[in-house]
Structure 1
């Protein structure tokens, strides 16, 4: 009996689990060793404690391009061009690195500039050319800078717009307080729900990235609904945390799609983008 037939014979006996155990153990061990190695490197080299930044795998980036293409009804080749724009924007990269190195909270931020799924935000703004974006949850302002960069590119093409960025923390948004990005950003400090109620112009793109508890997220979407322009899109970041936007889309007669990112060489499993349109 050759080796293949012998293994097949063992697989049909009660010894099968015992015989398979070494192979199963080695697969788990190799996986865990990679995870531990990546985690240990991150602990020693990174300063971040939340809102982790990283690059996407090549495959994940390609899936993101198709996600934006489908939800914004633009050719995928054009989306790839938009993704390349933000990734190759050296002026923005240098600004973020400098601003991070001199910030009061630089001990909790990495100088290396990585956007993760935020490149998808950029591509969406470039694709749909919104006049007014509202973003809730700003933190350092990395995402705000990405949105502002897309708006500046749109303005150069003849389609100007602004982003209203809402956060309850008075220290939020320090990366977005420099020109030229600040020229298209209105940073509002205060409760997001109260700030949304005070909006005085229609919203073409709403991005929820603040408190991801179900109740608060649901209240943000219901509060902004009367403020939306015709054809407005709704986005939720960290879409793996709740199903709120999907439920809101169904309730309001919209379509919904979610994208799950895959970080490259990072212990964090990643999150995603949900969009209703």
Structure 2
């Protein structure tokens, strides 16, 4: 009996799991070794302790471009150009690096600028040209800078807009406090649900990125519903953890899509973008 026939014969017996164990163990070991090596490299080279930043794999970037293309009805080539526009913005990159180096929290932040899924946020703002964007959850303000940069590009093309950034931490948003980005950002400190209730103009694009508990996320989407402009778009940064936005989309008669990013050279499995429109 040749080797192939022997393997097939064993596969039909109770010995199959035992015979296959060495190969299965080798595959798991290779995977775990890669994860451990990546984790060790990150522990030695990164300063971050939350809100991790990283690049995306090439495949993940391609999928993100199509995600934006479909949800915003924009040519995928144009979406890729918007990705490149953000990543080629040396003025923004230089500002983020300099502000990070000078910040009181610089010991807990990496200086190298990595946007990950935020290039998708940027492209969505470029495609939708919203007059008013609201984001909840600001932290250092990296996402705020990305959104503001897109709004500034839109304004230069005749489509001005503003960003309202909501956070409960008075120290949040230090990256977005410099011109020209600060010129289009209104930073509001306080509870996000109460701040949404107090909004005095329609919201064209809403992004949940604050307290990621299911209850709080649901409250934000419920509260913002009455503030939305016609054809507004809803985004969540919590789509890999909850189905809140998908359920909200179904209740309100919207379409929904989800994208999950894949970080390059990072131990963290990544987050994603959920969109309802």
TM class by shorter chain equals: over 0.9
What residue is the counterpart of 1:102 in the other structure? 102
What residue is the counterpart of 1:75 in the other structure? 75
TM-score, normalising length: structure 1: 0.98
SS at match of 1:35: helix
SS at match of 1:50: coil
What residue is the counterpart of 2:4 in the other structure? 4
Unaligned runs of 5+ in 2: none
TM-score, normalising length: structure 2: 0.98
Distance in structure 2 (CA, Å) of the matches to 1:31 and 1:105: 34
CA contact under 8 A between 2:204 and 2:228: conserved in structure 1?
yes
Distance in structure 1 (CA, Å) of the matches to 2:11 and 2:190: 64
Distance in structure 2 (CA, Å) of the matches to 1:44 and 1:152: 37
* 1:226-249 Cα distance to aligned partner (Å, 9 max, x none): 111000000000211111111111
What residue is the counterpart of 1:233 in the other structure? 233
Distance in structure 1 (CA, Å) of the matches to 2:170 and 2:211: 16
What residue is the counterpart of 2:84 in the other structure? 84
What are the residue-to-residue correspondences of 1:47-86 with 2, within 5 Å? 47-86=47-86
Deviation of the 1:13 alpha carbon = 2.4
What residue is the counterpart of 1:220 in the other structure? 220
- Count of residue pairs the alignment pairs up: 277
1:155 aligns with 2:155: yes
Distance in structure 2 (CA, Å) of the matches to 1:23 and 1:240: 31
Distance in structure 1 (CA, Å) of the matches to 2:163 and 2:240: 25
Deviation of the 1:5 alpha carbon = 1.8
SS at match of 1:222: helix
Distance in structure 1 (CA, Å) of the matches to 2:243 and 2:214: 8
Unaligned runs of 5+ in 1: none
Distance in structure 2 (CA, Å) of the matches to 1:218 and 1:233: 16
User: More displaced, 125-134 or 6-15?
Assistant: 6-15
1:196 aligns with 2:221: no
Task: Point out 4+ residue stretches in structure 1 off by more than 3 angstroms.
Answer: none
What are the residue-to-residue correspondences of 1:154-173 with 2, within 5 Å? 154-173=154-173
What residue is the counterpart of 1:258 in the other structure? 258
What are the residue-to-residue correspondences of 1:174-185 with 2, within 5 Å? 174-185=174-185
What root-mean-square deviation, in Å, do the aligned CA atoms of Structure 1 and Structure 2 show? 0.8
